[in-house]
A and B are shown apart, each in its own frame.
Chain A
Amino acid sequence: MRRFFSRFRNLFRSRQAESEMTREIASHLALLAEDFERRGLSPREAALAARRAYGGVEQAKELHREARSFLWIEQFLKDVRYAARNLFRNPGFTLLAALALALGIGANATIFGIYNTVALKQLPVADPARVVRVKRFLRNMNGYRFAYTEYQYLRDRNSVFSDLVAASSEIPVLASIAGAGAPEHLTGYAVSANYFAGLGVNARLGRTFLPDEDRATGANTVVVLGYRFWQRKFYGDPDVIGRTIKLNGMAYTIVGVAPPQFTSTDVLPTESGFWAPLSMIEQLNPAFGAGWRDKWRDAWQNAGFELLARLDPGVSRAKAQAETDLLLRGYLSGLRESLPTTAVTLERTSYLGSTGDVGFQVFAAAVLVTVSLVLLVACANVANMLLARGVSRRRAIGIRMALGATRLRLILQLLTESVLLALLGGAAGILLSAWAGRVLWTALSGIVLAFRGLRIELDLSPDSHVLLYGLALSVLTGIVSGLAPALQSTRLDLGAGPGRSRLRGLLLGAQVTVSVLLLVVSGALMGGVASSFVNSADLGFETHNTYRLRVSTRDAGMLPRLRDRLETLPELSRVSIGGAPLAETIGLAGSAGNWNGQTQTSFASDGYFETLGIPLERGRGFTRPESDRGAPVAVISESTARRLWPGQDPLGQYIHFARTFITATEYEVAGVAKDVRFTNLTEVDPMHVYLPTGAMPRLFGGVVFRIRARREKALAAVTSAVESVDPALLPSLDLVSLEEGPVAVRRSFYRVLGGFAGVLTLLSLTLAAIGVYGVMAFLVSQRTREIGIRMALGATSRAVLMSVVVQGLRPVLAGMLVGMAASAGLLAILAARGVVSSSGPFPATFGAAALYAELALMLATAVLASIVPARRALRVDPVVALRHE
């Protein structure tokens, strides 16, 4: 141990130790010489004799150094310096290789960064490791919602939690501040009074809720604001405490502002604008049906709250889970009609819920594997370039080995170089990923917002996890890409040409294979994107003046009441009830004649087809009585008619649906509507059945109307009409034209996909180009002499060029073939499982033109990347070439 420290010290005192050693050796030599002089030699002879007797001074010094310090660290530092010099000397190579690695590592770090944020980071609460989320498993599903009674029961009887807090699901409200303009939509949560205290979250400003502040139903009019809402609406004014804010028309006193990092504890973390006490939930959420409103405190059926708990000190999660499970299941078994809860578990509080699920983990693993393929390509690239360079450095390596360097030493040195290279690439990759992660997340959350209507906020700044991951990945990458070249170039059987080029060809081929796999994926995405470029006019329905109105209500009679009221407005030309195209369709299993399968369905009232401008080709639409009571009649699309009853009259035929939530099972065909792109932007629906709105499940669909007056005037009239029916509907009122709503959402979805596909394409093409170029450049430099001789003997430049390019492209072509075969196999498997199909949004087949275009692009890239260095060979002066070496 003591020796260890003294050696360690010597690392840093190397100069002092060195002079000490020199002094000692000099003294030793002097003493020796003195002795020899005493024996009668002349001083000069004595000095020489002393040298001889002493042995190699330098060797002695080296032994001395080795004994006094950690030689390997000194050597390592030396290697690093040497490697850095080497990399610096070849900036072109270094940049190219580092770029390849930066792309690979960057792609991985991006995905890991997002995974880290949603699944590894914990909620910004005090001591998050002691906080758990309560999760319930039902027979076929699982979830995080519990009834208030369950919360109470658990809170009062458990012996394992120091705190158990409850939060509602997100509540949309209309918020208005005196003197701050029109009311705006805001989302917030109703929470138990111990919510902030139990989670250990302190107010940024003011206070959080007092322990009893959730007891007086409808009377605890206090609110804690979200940090960003406070910044946006009050410009961070510290005097906001004590002011009032109206939520759904009711005045609340602002008592505090939450800290900036605390946005929400929801499983799907919607950014919260405010938190109010649980006792205010009825005032905040008028969407709750009447029965629910009265009984939310006592009814066990209404599972509307997420529960978080802080474990008592000294209680393990397993023990707490066992007790929670027992308590809740005991409570529910006493209720005859309760849903059969099979288990209750406690989860660590990752940012997103359910990240511990097998499904999520598999998904994350699949994505990581895909980006790892990119990294693998980059590794193969760099390995190939290093191999090529290793060959040109053979002479230097040979000399060093002849001078006594061990092979291990040289391998370590070469590995140092490749690891340094990878670290360089890794650093660039991490920077890249910080930016790419944000872009990717913006795109992903845009999709979530569009499809689920949820705004998810995520703090993607890289933390130590991401940096550590990047570092480990870089070192690993450096070793993986550097090992084979290092082994190869330190092997001293100088005649071993074929083996080397086989390895290079293999690496290049493998890399092209993976690139092709990536291209197939991007080609499939591109195919979908390409077919989504469609004019609104070609969708088959009117999108600019047609509006969709949705409200959140549990009252089944609300939509007809709204329709009746809107019909009286002169600003509207048509009003009907039904699902909005590109947003509200359902796939239903059905059968008719000898057809048996699934069809898209949607719901329509009388006047629906006229409102949307979809012509009826045959028969009739629905009448009002039919649509209101959900009569067993249906309108089908032309394609459906052709598919179900080819060559027959579809009118009067019957379609049978399995008994689900719709009201009947046998529907008689009353009309045939023109084919439109109702489900996807990318294609006309292969099958579509319209059912009367009365058959519609609650909370599905809305009012669809066409305006005839000026837009602002018409919408203002609609808003006040809704208010006159029920003011409680206003907070959740969602009013948008088909063009700006569903159509825009779909378009942006495909834009995001297109972006992905573009990046993927660019990535695989760039990597393939770098790889081919690297190998070709090397091949040409190897064959300079041969090319010179050939030219001298009269070969045309064309012939030489061809021979070089063909040699370079052979592994590329082989790789492309293998890649296509592999992806064909993969697609066959996916198609068999119904993941992809030749129709639908992702035409992932070899029929897709986009795919062939990308493969051609790949080949062109490879040819280009090999022609550039090959042309350099042609410029070689035969005389110079013959003198080469």
Chain B
Amino acid sequence: MSSEAGRMPVLQGTLDLIVLRTLESMGPQHAYAIATRLQQVSEDLLRLNQGTLYPALVRLEQQGRIKGTWRKTESNREAKFYAITKAGVKALAEETVRWRRMSGLVEKLLSEGA
């Protein structure tokens, strides 16, 4: 219960950004690896059902920002590996700037209001 209370839902619209960033820094990954990575980085603070990842992956693939191909994992299992595309890199750069601006703005408002 207490651990649940401390966890946050993923902020609307940020999942795409996080996925893109993960793929950029780690290279092609399958969905499970992405989910695991997210949990590690957030130190389990993000409340994320692993299935929730799929809409983001589908969306990004349809937008042409990532591309999925079926390959074997190290343990010789079949999995779909997603890689970031050129468009994805560009989008990531733009989104990052936007996010920084936005969070900076929110931060500023919050601290000034106090």
Which residues 51-77 of A sit at the B interface, judged by CB distance below 8 A?
53-57, 59-60, 63-64, 66-68
CB of B42 within 8 Å of the partner chain: no
CB of B49 within 8 Å of the partner chain: yes
Measured between alpha carbons, how far is A7 from B59 in the docked complex, in Å? 10
B50 touches A54 (CB 8 A): yes
Contact partner, B77, options A3, A31, A53, A59, Cβ 8 Å: A31
Q: Which residue of A lies closest to B59 (CB)?
A: A67
A20-28, A465-473, A619-627 - the one binding chain B: A20-28
Interface 0/1 of B39-70, CB less than 8 Å to A: 00000000001111011101100111000000
Chain A residues within an 8 Å CB radius of B54:
21, 24-25, 60, 63-64, 67
CB of B80 within 8 Å of the partner chain: yes
Measured between alpha carbons, how far is A35 from B75 in the docked complex, in Å? 11
CB of B89 within 8 Å of the partner chain: no
B50 touches A55 (CB 8 A): yes
B58 touches A68 (CB 8 A): yes
Using known A-B contacts A30-B77, A31-B73, determine if residue A63 contacts B62 with beta carbons closer than 8 Å.
no
A28 touches B31 (CB 8 A): yes
Measured between alpha carbons, how far is A21 from B101 in the docked complex, in Å? 36
B51 touches A68 (CB 8 A): no
Contact partner, B52, options A7, A21, A31, A63, Cβ 8 Å: A63
CB of B107 within 8 Å of the partner chain: no
CB of B30 within 8 Å of the partner chain: yes
Within the complex, the shortest CB–CB distance from A19 to chain B, in Å, comes to 12
CB of B99 within 8 Å of the partner chain: no
Chain A contact surface mostly: helix
Interface 0/1 of B12-51, CB less than 8 Å to A: 0000000000000000001111001000000000000111
Contact partner, B64, options A2, A23, A54, A59, Cβ 8 Å: A2
A57 touches B51 (CB 8 A): yes
Chain A residues within an 8 Å CB radius of B78:
23, 27
Q: Which residue of B lies closest to A32 (CB)?
A: B32
Using known A-B contacts A24-B54, A56-B49, A59-B51, determine if residue A7 contacts B62 with beta carbons closer than 8 Å.
yes
CB of A34 within 8 Å of the partner chain: yes
Q: Which residue of B lies closest to A53 (CB)?
A: B50
Chain A residues within an 8 Å CB radius of B64:
2
For B32, B36, B78, B79, which residue has the most chain A Cβ atoms within 10 angstroms? B32
Chain B residues within an 8 Å CB radius of A67:
54-56, 58-59, 62
Measured between alpha carbons, how far is A60 from B63 in the docked complex, in Å? 20
B62 touches A2 (CB 8 A): yes
Chain B residues within an 8 Å CB radius of A796:
none
A60 touches B49 (CB 8 A): yes
CB of A839 within 8 Å of the partner chain: no
Within the complex, the shortest CB–CB distance from B23 to chain A, in Å, comes to 16
Measured between alpha carbons, how far is A239 from B51 in the docked complex, in Å? 82
CB of A536 within 8 Å of the partner chain: no
Measured between alpha carbons, how far is A522 from B74 in the docked complex, in Å? 87
Interface size range on B against A = 20 to 34
B55 touches A54 (CB 8 A): no
Chain B residues within an 8 Å CB radius of A66:
55
Within the complex, the shortest CB–CB distance from A850 to chain B, in Å, comes to 69
Measured between alpha carbons, how far is A227 from B80 in the docked complex, in Å? 72
A34 touches B77 (CB 8 A): yes
B62 touches A25 (CB 8 A): no
Q: Which residue of B lies closest to A60 (CB)?
A: B51
B32 touches A31 (CB 8 A): yes
Q: Which residue of A lies closest to B32 (CB)?
A: A31
Measured between alpha carbons, how far is A722 from B72 in the docked complex, in Å? 109
A24 touches B52 (CB 8 A): no
Q: How many A-B residue pairs have CB under 8 A?
A: 73
Measured between alpha carbons, how far is A587 from B12 in the docked complex, in Å? 83
Within the complex, the shortest CB–CB distance from B20 to chain A, in Å, comes to 15
Measured between alpha carbons, how far is A35 from B74 in the docked complex, in Å? 13
CB of A6 within 8 Å of the partner chain: yes
Within the complex, the shortest CB–CB distance from A854 to chain B, in Å, comes to 64
Q: Which residue of A lies closest to B51 (CB)?
A: A60
Interface 0/1 of A1-27, CB less than 8 Å to B: 011001100000000000001011101
Q: Number of A interface residues at 8 Å Cβ cutoff, please give it.
A: 27
Chain B residues within an 8 Å CB radius of A7:
62
B55 touches A63 (CB 8 A): yes
Chain A residues within an 8 Å CB radius of B56:
67
Within the complex, the shortest CB–CB distance from A638 to chain B, in Å, comes to 93
Chain A residues within an 8 Å CB radius of B80:
23-24, 27
Using known A-B contacts A3-B63, A31-B32, determine if residue A55 contacts B52 with beta carbons closer than 8 Å.
yes
Q: Which residue of B lies closest to A27 (CB)?
A: B79
Chain B residues within an 8 Å CB radius of A35:
32, 36
B51 touches A25 (CB 8 A): yes
Chain B residues within an 8 Å CB radius of A31:
30, 32-33, 73, 77, 79
Q: Which residue of B lies closest to A24 (CB)?
A: B80
Chain B residues within an 8 Å CB radius of A64:
54-55, 58
Within the complex, the shortest CB–CB distance from A837 to chain B, in Å, comes to 73
Within the complex, the shortest CB–CB distance from B55 to chain A, in Å, comes to 4
Measured between alpha carbons, how far is A59 from B50 in the docked complex, in Å? 11
Within the complex, the shortest CB–CB distance from B27 to chain A, in Å, comes to 17
For A3, A24, A53, A66, which residue has the most chain B Cβ atoms within 10 angstroms? A24
Chain B residues within an 8 Å CB radius of A32:
32, 50
Measured between alpha carbons, how far is A376 from B59 in the docked complex, in Å? 46
A54 touches B51 (CB 8 A): yes
Measured between alpha carbons, how far is A66 from B36 in the docked complex, in Å? 24
Chain B residues within an 8 Å CB radius of A24:
31, 54, 79-80
Measured between alpha carbons, how far is A24 from B81 in the docked complex, in Å? 10
Within the complex, the shortest CB–CB distance from A668 to chain B, in Å, comes to 99
Within the complex, the shortest CB–CB distance from B90 to chain A, in Å, comes to 14
Measured between alpha carbons, how far is A27 from B82 in the docked complex, in Å? 14
Chain B residues within an 8 Å CB radius of A2:
62-64
Interface 0/1 of B97-109, CB less than 8 Å to A: 0000000000000
Chain A residues within an 8 Å CB radius of B63:
2-3
Measured between alpha carbons, how far is A35 from B77 in the docked complex, in Å? 12
A63 touches B31 (CB 8 A): no
Chain B residues within an 8 Å CB radius of A57:
51
Measured between alpha carbons, how far is A55 from B36 in the docked complex, in Å? 14
Within the complex, the shortest CB–CB distance from A4 to chain B, in Å, comes to 9
Measured between alpha carbons, how far is A278 from B59 in the docked complex, in Å? 74
Measured between alpha carbons, how far is A53 from B55 in the docked complex, in Å? 17
Q: Which residue of B lies closest to A10 (CB)?
A: B62
B77 touches A27 (CB 8 A): yes
Measured between alpha carbons, how far is A183 from B113 in the docked complex, in Å? 104
Chain B residues within an 8 Å CB radius of A3:
59, 62-63
Within the complex, the shortest CB–CB distance from B66 to chain A, in Å, comes to 13
Chain B residues within an 8 Å CB radius of A34:
75, 77
Q: Which residue of A lies closest to B61 (CB)?
A: A6
For A6, A57, A63, which residue has the most chain B Cβ atoms within 10 angstroms? A63
Measured between alpha carbons, how far is A66 from B62 in the docked complex, in Å? 13
Measured between alpha carbons, how far is A56 from B51 in the docked complex, in Å? 7
Q: Which residue of A lies closest to B58 (CB)?
A: A67
Within the complex, the shortest CB–CB distance from A715 to chain B, in Å, comes to 87
B59 touches A54 (CB 8 A): no
Chain A residues within an 8 Å CB radius of B51:
25, 54-57, 59-60, 63
Measured between alpha carbons, how far is A738 from B23 in the docked complex, in Å? 99
Q: Which residues of B contact A (CB under 8 A)?
A: 30-33, 36, 49-52, 54-56, 58-59, 62-64, 73, 75, 77-80
Q: Which residues of A contact B (CB under 8 A)?
A: 2-3, 6-7, 21, 23-25, 27-28, 30-32, 34-35, 53-57, 59-60, 63-64, 66-68
- Could you pull out 28 A-B pairs where Cβ atoms are within 8 angstroms? A2-B62, A3-B59, A7-B62, A24-B31, A24-B79, A24-B80, A27-B30, A27-B79, A28-B31, A31-B30, A31-B33, A31-B79, A32-B32, A35-B32, A53-B50, A54-B50, A55-B51, A55-B52, A56-B49, A56-B51, A60-B49, A63-B52, A63-B55, A64-B54, A66-B55, A67-B56, A67-B59, A68-B58
A2-B64, A27-B80, A56-B49 known; 5 new pairs, CB 8 Å cut-off, are A35-B32, A54-B51, A60-B52, A63-B51, A66-B55
Which 7 A-B pairs give the minimum distances between C-beta atoms?
A60-B51, A55-B49, A67-B55, A31-B32, A67-B58, A3-B62, A6-B62
